[in-house]
Chains A and B, each alone.
Chain A
Amino acid sequence: MGGHLNINHLIFLGQGALWTIGLSVIALIGGGIVGFVIALARISPLKSVRIASAVYVQLIQGTPLLVILFLGYFGLAAIGLQVSPLAAAGASLTLYVAAYLGEIWRGCIQSVPKPQWEAAEGLALSRTQRMMKVILPQAIRIATPPTVGFMVQIVKNTSLASVVGFVELMRSGQIVNNSLFEPFAIYAIIAVTYFAMCYPLSLFSQRLERRMGRGRSNLAPA
């Protein structure tokens, strides 16, 4: 190829950006589902479940995402499981996001004042009913700002999926650069594109936090 940056390069980068968004959505949905289970497991009445989920969280939080991605892609290949870059990246990010969201959400569930549990218990609601009808609706309000804030981390971290050959924004930038040799211009475009994706999320998170701050009295009666 060689030559100058042209419309085809930009379309290619645009496709990469779309895959970045796609991978972020996969990570958020997968990590959200697993993370929800982790959050509930972390406060389970069963000690073994609490310990197992705590170990999971510590293991993932103590391991770089880059290493998890390598393990997911090359590790599975080594034991004979051939997975596509998308599957490897999606699965690795899901495990990674789940550990963090699980901890964030556990904190939110536990920050619902304890008397709310007792009041629900005093009304003879079962544990599931207490959780679904009393605690979670309050916890979700507390959890929304930090969750949106964490989504910014997810979007940025998908760039690491480039190492397993998944062509998202970062990888598509590398590919374009390999033909144009204009690293500064290309990575500047990539940086701006990431910023354009993350900044609205940051703003949204901040706005939610302000709104929560105003309504804090809603959450803690008396």
Chain B
Amino acid sequence: MQQKPTSSESIVSLRDVQKSFGPLRVLDGVSFSVERGEVLALIGRSGSGKSTALRCIDRFEKVDGGEIVVCGHRVDRPDVDLRALRQDVGIVFQSYNLFPHLTIEQNITLAPCAVKGLATGEAKDLARKVLAQVGLEEKLHAYPEQLSGGQQQRAAIARSLAMQPKVMLFDEVTSALDPELTGEVLKVIEQLAADGMTMVMVTHEMGFAKGIADRIVFMHRGKVHETGPASILTSPTTPELTQFVGTGNLKS
């Protein structure tokens, strides 16, 4: 619908975003933006607000104040066209959330057929194409339960890709996976980044963030505490990030 190219503009921009859950202030004046083709990693401790910030972008959470613009949609406004927004934004969750009653192919073709009105044949071709992108062509007719966690997550990424989003959001997509399976999912995301996909990811994989992210946003107590290129992970300027990176490295 909103087809006008936002060439020099940001794909995602948050300005002074406020969000509280009851008395708890989760986002306290968060601002950052993501340019086309950029990969932004949101890092921080549990409870720092990074996942909430990500969910606000796709309006899974309503903000209390501030401005969010995503692909031209004013997400903070109550009258935002949610379905148009979500056609532009793909989101992948920690728990995969594939539809268990549908095959992988049906999982992928559902939204393109139902939302974009694609013909079945076209949608099936598309399913094959996106599954090839994540290296799962042979699982076309499998059910989610027959796949490993890593394969399910790759299928979920393929499902999201089939809607041809302008930006993809990843919410701790490897947190439920063991290190071996994490690797195969990260490889897929790396390939997407190489293909120029705009991405925002919440991640605990510091090594991965360092390798792939154009920009790091470190969140602390609901605020953007430190931001900069991936090099801030090796030479942080705030004591909080220093400590966070230190403990992160110890863990992994």
Q: Which residues of A contact B (CB under 8 A)?
A: 115-116, 118-126, 129, 133-134, 137-138, 141, 217-219, 221-222
Q: How far is the CA of A73 from the CA of B144 in the complex (A)?
A: 52
Task: Tell me if B86 counts as interface (CB < 8 A to partner A).
Answer: yes
Query: 18 pairs across A/B with beta carbons < 8 Å?
Result: A115-B95, A116-B99, A118-B97, A119-B156, A120-B99, A123-B115, A124-B82, A125-B115, A134-B99, A134-B110, A138-B101, A217-B145, A218-B145, A221-B96, A221-B144, A221-B145, A221-B152, A222-B176
Residues of B near A134 (CB, < 8 A) are 99, 110
Q: A217's closest neighbor in chain B, by CB?
A: B145
A221 B95 Cβ-Cβ under 8 A: yes
Q: Which residues of B contact A (CB under 8 A)?
A: 58, 60, 82-84, 86-87, 89-91, 93, 95-101, 110-111, 114-115, 143-145, 149, 152, 156, 159-160, 163, 176
Q: 19 other contacts beyond A123-B86, A124-B86, A134-B110, with CB at 8 A cut-off?
A: A116-B99, A118-B93, A118-B97, A119-B98, A121-B86, A122-B89, A122-B91, A123-B159, A124-B82, A124-B84, A124-B87, A133-B114, A218-B100, A218-B101, A221-B97, A221-B145, A222-B96, A222-B149, A222-B152
Q: How far is the CA of A222 from the CA of B96 in the complex (A)?
A: 8
Residues of B near A141 (CB, < 8 A) are 101
Within the complex, the shortest CB–CB distance from A222 to chain B, in Å, comes to 4
Within the complex, the shortest CB–CB distance from B200 to chain A, in Å, comes to 14
Residue in A115, A129, A134, A141 with the greatest tally of chain B CB atoms within 10 Å: A134
Within the complex, the shortest CB–CB distance from A198 to chain B, in Å, comes to 31
A115 B97 Cβ-Cβ under 8 A: yes
Q: How far is the CA of A115 from the CA of B95 in the complex (A)?
A: 8
Within the complex, the shortest CB–CB distance from A96 to chain B, in Å, comes to 31
A221 B100 Cβ-Cβ under 8 A: yes
Q: How far is the CA of A40 from the CA of B93 in the complex (A)?
A: 27
A124 B99 Cβ-Cβ under 8 A: no
Q: How far is the CA of A35 from the CA of B251 in the complex (A)?
A: 52
A219 B100 Cβ-Cβ under 8 A: yes
Residues of A near B144 (CB, < 8 A) are 221
Q: B85's closest neighbor in chain A, by CB?
A: A124
Residues of B near A124 (CB, < 8 A) are 82-84, 86-87, 111, 115, 163
Q: B143's closest neighbor in chain A, by CB?
A: A218
Q: How far is the CA of A222 from the CA of B93 in the complex (A)?
A: 11
Residue in A118, A121, A138, A222 with the greatest tally of chain B CB atoms within 10 Å: A222
Within the complex, the shortest CB–CB distance from B103 to chain A, in Å, comes to 13
Residues of B near A218 (CB, < 8 A) are 100-101, 143, 145
User: Which 8 A-B pairs have CB atoms at the shortest separation, nearest pair first?
Assistant: A119-B97, A123-B111, A124-B86, A222-B95, A122-B91, A115-B97, A124-B115, A137-B101
Within the complex, the shortest CB–CB distance from B118 to chain A, in Å, comes to 13
Q: A122-B58, A124-B115, A222-B149 are in contact. Are A116 and B97 (CB under 8 A)?
A: yes
Within the complex, the shortest CB–CB distance from A209 to chain B, in Å, comes to 18
Residues of A near B111 (CB, < 8 A) are 123-125
Residues of A near B89 (CB, < 8 A) are 122
Within the complex, the shortest CB–CB distance from B143 to chain A, in Å, comes to 8
Q: B59's closest neighbor in chain A, by CB?
A: A121
Q: How far is the CA of A141 from the CA of B102 in the complex (A)?
A: 13
Within the complex, the shortest CB–CB distance from A128 to chain B, in Å, comes to 10
Say which residue of B83, B95, B110 sits within 8 Å of A126 (CB atoms): B83
Residues of B near A137 (CB, < 8 A) are 101
Q: How far is the CA of A217 from the CA of B143 in the complex (A)?
A: 12
Residue in A118, A124, A219, A222 with the greatest tally of chain B CB atoms within 10 Å: A124
